[in-house]
């Protein structure tokens, strides 16, 4: 089946029902924080109250996926086989239909909802950009997103997506199997830099390394386009320090927290003291990311895991709202 086939031919995801209960009732992990910090939430249902207790208007989560149903089916099939693909199970915690997933992130407190998409082959990105435009037009609180692939056509469809109103892009180096510093992408990077539109880029070598993953190619792009806004997905896992170097070196490079310290790949206790200190110094460069809905644990674990780093309520306010709101233009 071609990726652009009508999503209506796919098997729809289930809606929330009594037999398929609301995931915000799922209890997360118990974490400890210093007495000077606000007690973190224990369940998805407690997240909005925690956000209010911090004095925030909501959450600015920059790493959320909504995809055409046929593409999402294939993504979830891949995660269903995660034991073979990753060497560990990866049960999707929010396997619901689109309307239910939108309701969930609204209830959690997202003030604007990214709909990140990404292609795995040539000739797919332009179609995804068309879908993104239609999806954003159908939902007032969804951010109009875009994507790209390393192909000559990106010189045309990236400016076209920007002209149509795209405000956030996603690039996945490992899935796409291309190098971001391929010169064929220079016109696209130039257009994104000129538009000051942020790009969430998965370039780290986890959960799987790729031919082109790692910080070097990203650094090469930034050396050519130093005002480009890159948001490094997953904090650059596992090349944490190398990507933190880029965040310190370039004004418009940020780190998103997706799956970091959530207890799946790493727990807060496993974060090295030296890196924890670095994160304290990068308070204005770390942005909340979650990977909703494709996460194997409740959303609350991302929030409580970050709180358990013990970097203070001020740091949490910056990460959960201020930094992402600034980059997304919400403040």
The pLDDT score that the predictor gives to residue 26 is: 58
In a domain, 7, yes or no: no
**Residues 136, 142 contacting (CB under 8 angstroms):** yes
Q: Is residue 17 part of a domain?
A: no
H or E segment at 307?
helix 300-307
Tally of domains in the chain: 1
Q: Which two tokens stand for residue 12?
A: 């729809």
Number of residues that this document lists for the chain = 331
Residue 159: which CATH number?
3.20.20.140
| pLDDT of 13 over the 50 cut | yes
Residue 233's domain comprises 29-328
Say if 20 falls within a structural domain.
no
Q: How many CB atoms lie within 10 A of CB 141?
A: 12
Residue 15, domain member (yes or no): no
Q: What is the DSSP letter of 199?
A: E
Instruction: Please report which helix (H) or strand (E) contains residue 146, including its range.
Output: strand 145-147
- Residues forming beta bridges with residue 172, ordered by sequence position: 202
- How sure is the predictor about 262, in pLDDT bands with cuts at 50, 70 and 90? very high
Digit-coded pLDDT (tens) for 291-312: 999 999 999 999 999 999 999 9
Q: Specify if 5 maps to a domain.
A: no
Residue 236 in domain = yes
Are 41 and 302 in contact, with CB atoms under 8 Å apart? no
Q: Is 163 among the domain residues?
A: yes
**What's the pTM?**
0.92
Residue 255: strand, helix, or coil = strand
Residue 306: the pLDDT is 98
pLDDT at 77: 97
């Amino acid at each position: 089946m071609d990726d652009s086939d009508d999503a209506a031919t796919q098997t729809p995801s289930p809606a929330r029902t009594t037999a398929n209960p609301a995931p915000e009732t799922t209890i997360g992990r118990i974490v400890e924080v210093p007495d000077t910090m606000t007690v973190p939430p224990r369940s998805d249902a407690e997240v909005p109250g925690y956000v209010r207790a911090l004095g925030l208007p909501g959450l600015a989560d920059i790493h959320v996926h909504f995809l055409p149903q046929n593409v999402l089916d294939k993504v979830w099939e891949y995660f269903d086989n995660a034991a073979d693909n990753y060497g560990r199970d990866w049960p999707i915690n929010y396997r619901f239909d689109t309307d239910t997933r939108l309701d969930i992130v609204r209830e959690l407190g997202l003030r604007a909802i990214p709909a990140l998409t990404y292609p795995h082959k040539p000739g797919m990105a332009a179609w995804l950009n068309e879908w993104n435009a239609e999806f954003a037009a159908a939902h007032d609180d969804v951010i109009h997103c875009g994507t790209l692939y390393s192909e000559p056509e990106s010189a045309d469809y990236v400016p076209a997506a920007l002209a149509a109103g795209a405000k956030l892009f996603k690039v996945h180096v490992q899935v796409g199997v291309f190098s971001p510093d391929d010169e064929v992408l220079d016109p696209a990077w130039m257009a994104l830099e000129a538009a000051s539109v942020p790009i969430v880029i998965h370039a780290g070598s986890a959960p799987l390394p790729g031919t082109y993953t790692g910080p070097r190619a990203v650094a090469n792009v930034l050396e050519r386009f130093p005002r480009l806004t890159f948001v490094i997905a997953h904090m650059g896992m596992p090349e944490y320090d190398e990507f933190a170097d880029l965040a310190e070196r370039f004004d418009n490079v940020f780190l998103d927290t997706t799956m970091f310290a959530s207890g799946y790949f790493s727990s807060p206790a496993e974060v090295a003291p030296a890196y924890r200190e670095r994160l304290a110094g990068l308070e204005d460069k770390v942005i909340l990311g979650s990977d909703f809905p494709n996460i194997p644990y409740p959303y609350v674990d991302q929030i409580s895991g970050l709180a358990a780093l013990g970097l203070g309520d001020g740091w949490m306010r910056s990460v959960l709202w201020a930094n992402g709101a600034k980059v997304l233009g919400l403040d």
